[in-house]
Structure 1
């Protein structure tokens, strides 16, 4: 593989480190040619690292384009990779003349690159913003940078994320004793001091004012703290005045730029800090992790991908100096906590954010871009997926996540469009094209180009929650078939459809416009037959959400800790929802929670599946509880919810997908049935512990909790049932592959 990298040649900071370390290591596997638009220190350093480097200078961009076009053709490059605004402009001009795919790495927010320089922002910033939209693919240095650009209207399915990696080989021993080095920097420290450090430019984006205010707040509770700031910039005088105003002038040291490398600096610190308003994925944190430093940082950019808050570091909102002060004091006063967090951060960073991981990711991105570039054009291609997405319901969104994974397992490059109530959120979460459910012209256009339409899981064909919903999905099915799509109803449930007119309409549409219906449980098949649906092929499968996996232990720990829940306790989960008759039964759940706590020592955890609605039901159920209890109002996405439910000793749930998630992890279940889909799923997996909401009492619910907690020999049978359903679920994928003719 031969890739040409374009860069201005005047870059510094994280972008410079990223490009040079990446190209140095890429050239061990492929040819990665560097072209700079000016000579100087950047190009000199590249040559010293053994990176093939060429200078293509001058202000005549047309001449530069001609020269590069000729060079690219002569040398047989396959891909053009840009870094920075000038390279983006030239790359956009090279697309047509070379016919090659062009990708850019976005190292920072292009709207902030010229902060404080209005003329440069107006000229270079405008050109760069335009050029970015003309390139084929974009790589964000962190998922957060990708999300930022998608939120600004860039196509969601043309993005990749990469993280800055470093070499985690053990650092050489310090050249100087700690106290000697600190005193050389001008720090008033002794053996008992806990040194907080930061290496950054002193400019507004780094928000050093918050750092100094937070340090002053922490110092008031922990006089051992000292602060060393390595760096310089336009805010130096302002920050010095702030330190004097807050009475910490002697405890804050402005060390200026550190010469001779940063190893000695990081080896001297106890706590690494970062207070930026905006970041991609800063090297300063992985450098600190390399030295096993406890870390406190703002939750911006890709930083939350490295730091699981309260697990291997502390995160706070930009500008929140009080939270920063609290965290600094906690770390300063607790040597064991500081050591433990530093070790956990090193373990994660060295495993996931090494330079080799970065290189492997970049190579994978190149391979995928070339594969997509060479993909044959098809008159009809890809999938349109329609379901109850973008409403804040983790169960429905889990279905979408599972379907997307399965479509990508069939063809990782297929175009996918999702109809969503919140298309922006869907684009950000799943990196697919998404249109609003009400944008009729947009989804009609997508259907005319797609090969397959998926009516995507869940109980969409029902009229209990809304008759308009039923009409919407039936209209979509009809429109998709008329637009030329194959139509699959995917791992779905059917009903209840209560009105006879609706049953007749549903049967008419499904018979006329659906090719295959795959069902998540047998009761839905019986309902289809009763409705008179006989034309489509009907197969029994399972819910796609059964295939999803839990998030990492650290991510789950962080979610639980943010909710104030100790990660490894003895818990009984309640996943409830508002429904007709719930008000009269809310106290039953409270009585069951008290019984489980007093009998088995299980603390109730009320866990929301639909975060906008379920907490109301949970507060109602727990209103008069006088025992310890926790509320997990927002457990994040499907992965972290599954991971949280896996920590429970048993789950009592009205929510179907809480039962599905818990079942996939082998957790004992008790179902409270408000809708036939709940009992249908439980019967399908051989589970007999369920009761109708209308019939639930404290006595029968407590009896079922007894059986769930105490029944012997059940785990193996649950695991066998789940494995059977997961195997059956793959029929959904097989059918989709057939309809796509792949």
Structure 2
């Protein structure tokens, strides 16, 4: 593989470090050449690092273009990689002239690159903005940068993400903690908790907020010390601020830091207070040192710092919140150690130099593979379902379907109909159309190969007849417009109205190529409706393939919610439904019962936050035992990880049962819809009762039986393995309809 990199040659800071690090290490694996458009420290340092470097100086753009074109064609490069405005402009010109794919790494917000320089913004800024739109692919340095590009209309299918990686090889600091403190003049001893930051002392880094937050925390924890590494125009102002706040004697300005290993070894807590960032190296430096981090919630920071798990996040400029987090860490050594260890592990596995290099090579391979991909006039899949409405179960279905489509073909363009297309684009890195933008999705259907009616109980009229009609319309339109049509891991029914049953049966019989079903009840329902023409396959709910978050992350989520990670819990997921209010007391008293008899603390876990939290509070009014209500459970992996920590789960929600079953948790179902009992029967769990027949004695008996199954791996694992085995039929069926086999294009 041969890749040529184009960059102005006047870059500094994070972009310079990233490019030099990347090319120095990539050159050991592939053939790379860097072209700069000016001579200077950037190109000189590149040569010293062993990076093959060519300089094309001068202001004549056309002359440079001709030289570059000749260099690229004669060098037989596979790909052009650009950085910055000058590189992007040349890349846009070379794209058509050479026929090679062109990718640009976006190191910063291109709209802010020339702030305070109006002429440069008008010229270079405009050229860069136009050039970025004309390139084939873009790489955001952090997920936050990729999100920014998506929000500005860039195609998610042509975006990649990479992070500034760091070498996590263990290092031995030159100086001990005490020696470093003495060398910079910090008045500290072994009882001190040292908070620190290494940054340029300029307004963007907002060190003033750190000083203010520290001063507030120092009033409660006088063993705190603050070590500030760096230099810049804010130095005198910050020293005066520390004096005015009465903390000058415990704040040390260490100046420019050259020995970063000794600096971070001298800290107990790392901080970052910037008002704007992409993904600063100081974050990973702190992670490598195993330090808990308190950082402003900006840019790519939240992708490394999981709030309450491996550090704390606060709104930029909020000294009060920063102070509270510093106090919490100063008072709890074990919390510092736990968070620091989790941050180190996350940094080592996801943000290391090795992972960055492998990610860059993966991006190159993907781009070159796509260049040779044969698609014909149609390409991609359009997925329709109850997405973008804040339901964790529906969101998990979409995540699972997208994941499986990527397994079939990693380069397959995916489009999703969503009530919140912006959120869907950002969350799943797919193109998205507003669900009821009918002209637009009809136009897209004319270009895709596969239409997926995606998961869940979309074919029902118990909650809405109009939604059933809408889904039947989209199925018919997709087929008429030339798509293969698949219903993916779905449930059928209840369809109560005779006219709706006739309509649904007619559409499914004529317009659907294949239906994969998540339970036996749905298969029986199709038979009763007379639907026989499509290929009908018994499979499973697609969400069973989704993994739980790693144990350390779940530990942190529990701790941040005030729960002991080693505690024994029973999970309840309740939902409002006609008749629920009359039964709420039964749930509350049953929760008391299981706490008193088995020592299981009740935890209420919502699937649809806006509805389920209220139902939990209604049941909790009747309780005497301690309990916890989680307001939200987060991403799918976090939600599944939380259910995995429950010893037993009692649920009215299907996906709480699916998530728990996938983790081998004993279940008790409360049936408001046949899909609940059908699913439990399908996996061999028999503890369920209809909501209208629910009694306290009956629920207690089910709880006794479920508790007896804790640890019965033979019983619990059988259903789980069967689910995962048959779920593969969803993916296999989609692959066949796309004309693909085993995840590889035919």
TM-score range relative to shorter protein? over 0.9
1:638-658 superposed Cα distances (whole Å, 9 cap, x missing partner): 211111100000000000000
Structure 1 residue 412 displacement after superposition: 1.1
Q: TM-score, normalised by structure 1?
A: 0.96
- Residue 625 of structure 1 corresponds to 623
Q: Does 1:113 align with 2:113?
A: yes
- Residue 67 of structure 2 corresponds to 67
- Residue 650 of structure 1 corresponds to 648
- Residue 33 of structure 1 corresponds to 33
Compared CA separation, residues 479 and 58, structure 1 to 2 (3 A): same
Structure 1 residue 610 displacement after superposition: 0.9
Compared CA separation, residues 725 and 184, structure 1 to 2 (3 A): closer
Q: Conserved in 2, the CA contact under 8 Å of 1:560 and 1:632?
A: no
- Residue 357 of structure 1 corresponds to 355
Q: Conserved in 2, the CA contact under 8 Å of 1:666 and 1:718?
A: yes
Compared CA separation, residues 677 and 84, structure 1 to 2 (3 A): same
290-299 or 467-476: which moved more? Answer: 290-299
Structure 1 residue 611 displacement after superposition: 1.7
CA distance in 2, matches of 1:340, 1:409: 35
- Residue 134 of structure 1 corresponds to 134
Partner of 1:568: helix, strand, or coil? coil
- Residue 227 of structure 2 corresponds to 228
Compared CA separation, residues 73 and 364, structure 1 to 2 (3 A): same
- Residue 678 of structure 2 corresponds to 680
CA distance in 1, matches of 2:66, 2:609: 56
Q: Conserved in 1, the CA contact under 8 Å of 2:194 and 2:225?
A: yes
721-730 or 602-611: which moved more? Answer: 721-730
- Residue 700 of structure 1 corresponds to 698
- Residue 48 of structure 1 corresponds to 48
- Residue 265 of structure 2 corresponds to 267
Compared CA separation, residues 123 and 251, structure 1 to 2 (3 A): farther
Structure 1 residue 118 displacement after superposition: 4.2
1:38-59 superposed Cα distances (whole Å, 9 cap, x missing partner): 1111111111111111112222
307-316 or 522-531: which moved more? Answer: 307-316
- Residue 331 of structure 1 corresponds to 329
- Residue 94 of structure 2 corresponds to 94
Compared CA separation, residues 691 and 453, structure 1 to 2 (3 A): same
1:548-569 superposed Cα distances (whole Å, 9 cap, x missing partner): 1111123322333333332221
Structure 1 residue 394 displacement after superposition: 1.1
| Residue 689 of structure 1, aligned match among 678, 687, 690 | 687
Q: Conserved in 2, the CA contact under 8 Å of 1:671 and 1:691?
A: yes
Structure 1 residue 25 displacement after superposition: 0.7
Q: Conserved in 1, the CA contact under 8 Å of 2:489 and 2:540?
A: yes
Compared CA separation, residues 512 and 286, structure 1 to 2 (3 A): same
CA distance in 2, matches of 1:693, 1:191: 60
Partner of 2:446: helix, strand, or coil? helix
Q: Conserved in 1, the CA contact under 8 Å of 2:666 and 2:710?
A: no
Partner of 2:150: helix, strand, or coil? helix
- Residue 743 of structure 2 corresponds to none
1:568-588 superposed Cα distances (whole Å, 9 cap, x missing partner): 211110111111111111111
- Residue 370 of structure 2 corresponds to 372
Partner of 2:670: helix, strand, or coil? strand
Q: Does 1:255 align with 2:254?
A: yes
Compared CA separation, residues 126 and 682, structure 1 to 2 (3 A): same
Q: Conserved in 2, the CA contact under 8 Å of 1:308 and 1:554?
A: no
CA distance in 2, matches of 1:694, 1:346: 51
CA distance in 2, matches of 1:268, 1:498: 69
CA distance in 1, matches of 2:92, 2:268: 46
CA distance in 1, matches of 2:102, 2:500: 52
In structure 2, runs of 5+ residues without a counterpart are 741-746
Q: How many residues align?
A: 740
CA distance in 1, matches of 2:91, 2:340: 42
1:19-47 superposed Cα distances (whole Å, 9 cap, x missing partner): 11111110110012111121111111111
Structure 1 residue 423 displacement after superposition: 0.9
Q: CA RMSD of the aligned region, Å? A: 1.9
- Residue 212 of structure 2 corresponds to 213
Structure 1 residue 234 displacement after superposition: 3.7
CA distance in 2, matches of 1:735, 1:180: 65
In structure 1, runs of 5+ residues without a counterpart are none
Structure 1 residue 261 displacement after superposition: 4.3
Compared CA separation, residues 353 and 727, structure 1 to 2 (3 A): same
| Residue 277 of structure 2, aligned match among 272, 276, 279 | 279
- Residue 709 of structure 1 corresponds to 707
Compared CA separation, residues 713 and 31, structure 1 to 2 (3 A): closer
1:696-717 superposed Cα distances (whole Å, 9 cap, x missing partner): 1111111101100014784312
Q: Does 1:154 align with 2:141?
A: no
Structure 1 residue 119 displacement after superposition: 4.1
- Residue 432 of structure 1 corresponds to 430
CA distance in 1, matches of 2:528, 2:389: 31
CA distance in 2, matches of 1:695, 1:496: 19
- Residue 552 of structure 1 corresponds to 550
Partner of 2:248: helix, strand, or coil? coil
- Residue 421 of structure 1 corresponds to 419
102-111 or 472-481: which moved more? Answer: 102-111
1:434-465 superposed Cα distances (whole Å, 9 cap, x missing partner): 10111112111111111111111111111111
CA distance in 2, matches of 1:736, 1:170: 46
CA distance in 1, matches of 2:37, 2:688: 70
183-192 or 206-215: which moved more? Answer: 183-192
360-369 or 189-198: which moved more? Answer: 189-198
Partner of 1:417: helix, strand, or coil? strand
Q: TM-score, normalised by structure 2?
A: 0.95
1:280-316 superposed Cα distances (whole Å, 9 cap, x missing partner): 2221122223333332222333333333333332322
- Residue 671 of structure 1 corresponds to 669
CA distance in 2, matches of 1:734, 1:267: 52
Structure 1 residue 276 displacement after superposition: 1.5
| Residue 487 of structure 2, aligned match among 486, 489, 493 | 489
Q: Following superposition of structure 1 onto structure 2, how do residues 486-565 of structure 1 map, counting pairs within 5 Å?
A: 486-565=484-563
CA distance in 1, matches of 2:245, 2:124: 40
- Residue 301 of structure 1 corresponds to 299
Q: Conserved in 1, the CA contact under 8 Å of 2:520 and 2:678?
A: yes
CA distance in 2, matches of 1:126, 1:234: 30
CA distance in 1, matches of 2:128, 2:233: 25
- Residue 238 of structure 2 corresponds to 239
CA distance in 1, matches of 2:475, 2:193: 65
1:461-489 superposed Cα distances (whole Å, 9 cap, x missing partner): 11111111011000000100000111111
Compared CA separation, residues 492 and 333, structure 1 to 2 (3 A): closer
- Residue 316 of structure 2 corresponds to 318
CA distance in 1, matches of 2:722, 2:337: 45
Compared CA separation, residues 601 and 712, structure 1 to 2 (3 A): closer
Q: Does 1:739 align with 2:704?
A: no
CA distance in 2, matches of 1:738, 1:267: 56
Q: Does 1:722 align with 2:720?
A: yes
Q: Conserved in 2, the CA contact under 8 Å of 1:550 and 1:642?
A: yes
Partner of 1:11: helix, strand, or coil? coil
1:129-173 superposed Cα distances (whole Å, 9 cap, x missing partner): 222222211111222221122122211111111122112223243
Partner of 1:255: helix, strand, or coil? strand
- Residue 185 of structure 1 corresponds to 184
Structure 1 residue 89 displacement after superposition: 2.1
511-520 or 232-241: which moved more? Answer: 232-241
Partner of 2:650: helix, strand, or coil? strand
1:614-658 superposed Cα distances (whole Å, 9 cap, x missing partner): 111111111232321111221112211111100000000000000
Q: Conserved in 2, the CA contact under 8 Å of 1:563 and 1:631?
A: no
Q: Conserved in 1, the CA contact under 8 Å of 2:665 and 2:710?
A: no
